[in-house]
A and B are shown apart, each in its own frame.
Chain A
Amino acid sequence: MRKIRRWGPGLLLVSPSIVLIAIFVYGLIGWNVKVSLSDWRQSQQTTGFDTGAYSELFPTNTGEVDDFVKGVATGDQSTTLTTDPGWIIDLHHALLFTVTFVGGALLMGAVLAFLLDKGVKGEGMFRAIYLFPMAVSFIAAGVVWRWLMNPAPGDRSTGFNLLFDKLGLGFLGNEWYLGQTWGAAALAIPAVWALSGYIMALFLAGFRGVPEELREAARMDGASEWRVYRHVVFPHLTPVTFSALIILGHISIKVFDLIVAIGGKQLITQTPAVYMWILIYDSRDYAKGAAIATLLLVGISVLVIPYLIYTIRSERES
């Protein structure tokens, strides 16, 4: 009884949050799954159970999808498909975007942190510059980047293409985010721009978390500066790299604002989250919208749940 008096008030104080999260996170996720398994495909809501939405997202016949993808690449789109073709394109975009974005931001962040690690004059200024894109919304950033990466040809060309022309590097000019094959990679450039500073800050904290004695000990043993990094510092960065990967990965799966700001609702820039929006607002296909949302959640959970458990566990150990 005395024990309850000791911790009871705490539980009571947190309980409104527990209830809110229980309802609005877990409850609504459950509800969303239910919608995704319903036949609520148009404005009329019915209660029937239907897996139709998922069957359009999961190809039953992969050969068919291969043919379709080849068809898109060669401009021959005669193949008919029971799987939703828009969704397959979305998945390709998501994959290409993720690889470019996660790889790019990780590399940029790590290199910048490495360069700043040993103390640089004006470090504060460099850090402030690299980090500032985090304060800007993707919508506002999208306005500039859409202009910078404008693929319009000839005398209507702007942004990078125009700059390349002026610098005599015209051969570098390209279609950017409207390119058939590499468009999604171009879309990842502004995302790399936005997140590199953050990843740099993470890595910098990681670098500085390595005890100076360890580095010193290695130097005493006659290790060159590079070897100190390779054998002493880098192995310490595994947890930071892991964190950075999870953060970038989950941002990448959800990416929405940036794509809308740059590409709008075009199929050529569409990603799963954008498709979900279109399905709900334009097609009123709630079951399929909910199914895509569920798949996004599953994708993110696979990344995040092990990470959360690992974090809590290592916190307990320390």
Chain B
Amino acid sequence: MSGAAVALESQFKRRRRRRVGAQILKYAALAFVALIVLMPVYVLLVASFKSGSEADPSRAWALPEVWSLDAWREAWNGEQYGLLPFLENSLKLVIPATLISTFIGSLNGFVLSRWRFPGSDLVFLFLLFGMFIPYQAVMIPLIQIFIDVDFPDGIPRLVFAHIVYGIPITTLIFRSYYATIPNDLIEAARMDRAGMLRTYWSVVLPISAPAFVVTAIWQFTSIWNDFLFAVFIVTDPAQWPVTVALNNTTGSIVTPYNVQMAAALIASLPTLIVYILLGRYFMRGLMAGALKG
């Protein structure tokens, strides 16, 4: 072998070695971040399966010696800390609010992308701004209105608020989705002299399933996790959704920490399950939330 070839070969080797090193470094960095992201989950799980006697701060990072379901039982329907009634409240709130706001978003999105009228872009902008406002800026008058018109207290007020303030985001997701439908489909329906509702019903709605899933997941997650509206609007503790109840349970230092952790897990399970099963759609909703993504 000539000297040049040897030099070249060793250069290749060095490069390859460097590339392998970079790869290892890359995976190590990714795995390290993944571990840190999952650390809270480890803590939650480990603590929630400890019995009361084991739930001592000094052993906090260790696995439970005896795996116990006591904390889960207590946080689920225990006399003092049971979350079950509040989970029911959250369900009563999240189901109608999600369905109705998703449907409204679909109609709006259809009109604003496919059945436009003069100024429809301005109308879209007008609606969209409602997505970014801090809801504190409407909260005092909103509560005042509910009292003035004698709106049924508790969950109905929350359902109403989530529907109204959900209009911008649901409209946005559907509008972007419908913008991707081929124009020919709509034009063909128009040629057939199909009216707006008929076009929506027989042409657009049948191909809307993905957008419905994306929007419903988005609304489900944000309404289930909402704390701000609930803590301002609901005055009757019996009607609290689970976030407010959880904050109330865990905000007190007398609550054993294994019960706190189990409660946090229970309150998060519905959205986590949706995320695990439908993560792909969840992601699309997030991207739509960023407008241009």
Q: Which residues of B contact A128 (CB under 8 A)?
A: 279
Any A CB within 8 A of the CB of B63: no
Are B136 and A260 in contact, with the CB atoms below 8 A?
Answer: no
CB within 8 Å for A112 and B30 given contacts A132-B272, A136-B268: yes
What is the CA–CA distance of A300 and B126 in the complex, to the nearest angstrom?
16
Q: Which residues of B contact A137 (CB under 8 A)?
A: 224-227, 243, 267-268, 271
What is the CA–CA distance of A29 and B141 in the complex, to the nearest angstrom?
8
Name the interface residues of B259-293: CB closer than 8 Å to any CB of A. Answer: 260-261, 263-265, 267-268, 271-272, 274-275, 279, 282-283, 286-287, 289-293
Q: Which residues of A contact B26 (CB under 8 A)?
A: 115, 120
Query: Which residue of chain B lies nearest to A253 when distances are taken between CB atoms in the complex?
Result: B134
Are A304 and B129 in contact, with the CB atoms below 8 A?
Answer: yes
What is the CA–CA distance of A250 and B133 in the complex, to the nearest angstrom?
9
Q: Give 6 A-B contacts (CB < 8 Å), ordered by A residue.
A: A10-B196, A13-B108, A139-B267, A202-B290, A243-B292, A309-B125
What is the CA–CA distance of A44 and B153 in the complex, to the nearest angstrom?
22
Whole-angstrom distance from the CB of B199 to the nearest CB of chain A? 10
Which of A47-55, A142-150, A174-182 contacts the other chain? A142-150
CB within 8 Å for A144 and B264 given contacts A116-B30, A297-B134: yes
Are A141 and B196 in contact, with the CB atoms below 8 A?
Answer: no
Are B264 and A143 in contact, with the CB atoms below 8 A?
Answer: yes
Contacts from A to B (Cβ < 8 Å): 7-11, 13-14, 16-18, 20-22, 24-25, 27-29, 31-32, 35, 108, 112, 115-116, 120, 126, 128-148, 152, 155-159, 162-163, 166, 193, 196-198, 201-202, 205, 239, 243-244, 247, 250, 253-254, 256-257, 260-261, 264, 273, 276-277, 280, 286, 289-290, 292-294, 296-297, 300, 304-305, 307-309, 311-312, 314, 316
Q: Which residues of B contact A141 (CB under 8 A)?
A: 40, 264
Are B142 and A24 in contact, with the CB atoms below 8 A?
Answer: yes
Are A13 and B291 in contact, with the CB atoms below 8 A?
Answer: no
Are B272 and A197 in contact, with the CB atoms below 8 A?
Answer: no
Are B196 and A162 in contact, with the CB atoms below 8 A?
Answer: no
Number of interface residues of B (CB under 8 A): 92
Are B247 and A139 in contact, with the CB atoms below 8 A?
Answer: yes
Which of A135, A193, A243, A264 has a CB less than 8 Å from the CB of B275?
A135
Q: Which residues of B contact A28 (CB under 8 A)?
A: 137-138, 141-142, 145
Name the interface residues of B201-256: CB closer than 8 Å to any CB of A. Answer: 221, 224-228, 231-232, 243, 246-247, 250-251
What is the CA–CA distance of A145 and B271 in the complex, to the nearest angstrom?
19
Are B138 and A163 in contact, with the CB atoms below 8 A?
Answer: no
Q: Which residues of B contact A264 (CB under 8 A)?
A: 251
Q: Which residues of A contact B228 (CB under 8 A)?
A: 256-257
Whole-angstrom distance from the CB of A317 to the nearest CB of chain B? 12
Whole-angstrom distance from the CB of B160 to the nearest CB of chain A? 9
Are A10 and B37 in contact, with the CB atoms below 8 A?
Answer: no
What is the CA–CA distance of A105 and B108 in the complex, to the nearest angstrom?
33
Closest 8 CB pairs of A and B: A137-B225, A7-B117, A135-B275, A28-B138, A31-B141, A297-B137, A293-B136, A143-B264
Q: Which residues of A contact B264 (CB under 8 A)?
A: 140-141, 143-144
Whole-angstrom distance from the CB of B283 to the nearest CB of chain A? 6
Q: Which residues of B contact A21 (CB under 8 A)?
A: 126-127, 130, 164, 167-168
Which of A130, A135, A148 has a CB less than 8 Å from the CB of B221?
A135
Any A CB within 8 A of the CB of B58: yes
Are B293 and A243 in contact, with the CB atoms below 8 A?
Answer: yes
CB within 8 Å for A134 and B286 given contacts A292-B136, A294-B137: yes
Q: Which residues of B contact A139 (CB under 8 A)?
A: 225, 227, 243, 246-247, 267
Query: Which residue of chain A lies nearest to B197 when distances are taken between CB atoms in the complex?
Result: A9
Whole-angstrom distance from the CB of A32 to the nearest CB of chain B? 5
Are B58 and A131 in contact, with the CB atoms below 8 A?
Answer: no
Q: Which residues of B contact A293 (CB under 8 A)?
A: 134, 136-137, 139-140
Contacts from B to A (Cβ < 8 Å): 26-27, 29-30, 33-34, 36-40, 43-44, 47, 57-58, 60-61, 104, 107-108, 111-112, 115-118, 120-121, 123-130, 132-134, 136-142, 144-145, 164-165, 167-168, 171, 195-197, 221, 224-228, 231-232, 243, 246-247, 250-251, 257, 260-261, 263-265, 267-268, 271-272, 274-275, 279, 282-283, 286-287, 289-293
What is the CA–CA distance of A293 and B228 in the complex, to the nearest angstrom?
13
CB within 8 Å for A135 and B274 given contacts A17-B167, A277-B231, A305-B129: yes
Are B116 and A18 in contact, with the CB atoms below 8 A?
Answer: no
What is the CA–CA distance of A289 and B128 in the complex, to the nearest angstrom?
25
Which of B38, B61, B282 has a CB less than 8 Å from the CB of A166?
B61
Are B246 and A140 in contact, with the CB atoms below 8 A?
Answer: yes
What is the CA–CA distance of A65 and B261 in the complex, to the nearest angstrom?
42
What is the CA–CA distance of A293 and B195 in the complex, to the nearest angstrom?
44
Query: Which residue of chain B lies nearest to A156 when distances are taken between CB atoms in the complex?
Result: B57
Are A13 and B260 in contact, with the CB atoms below 8 A?
Answer: no
Q: Which residues of A contact B250 (CB under 8 A)?
A: 142-143, 146, 261
What is the CA–CA distance of A286 and B250 in the complex, to the nearest angstrom?
28
Are A273 and B130 in contact, with the CB atoms below 8 A?
Answer: no
Which of A126, A134, A152, A247 has a CB less than 8 Å from the CB of B34?
A126
What is the CA–CA distance of A205 and B64 in the complex, to the nearest angstrom?
41
Whole-angstrom distance from the CB of A81 to the nearest CB of chain B? 24
Are B227 and A143 in contact, with the CB atoms below 8 A?
Answer: no
Whole-angstrom distance from the CB of B117 to the nearest CB of chain A? 4
Which of B37, B167, B195, B232 has a CB less than 8 Å from the CB of A129?
B37
Between B133, B224, B286, the greatest number of chain A beta carbons within 10 A of the residue's beta carbon is seen for B133
Which of B196, B272, B274, B275 has a CB less than 8 Å from the CB of A13?
B196
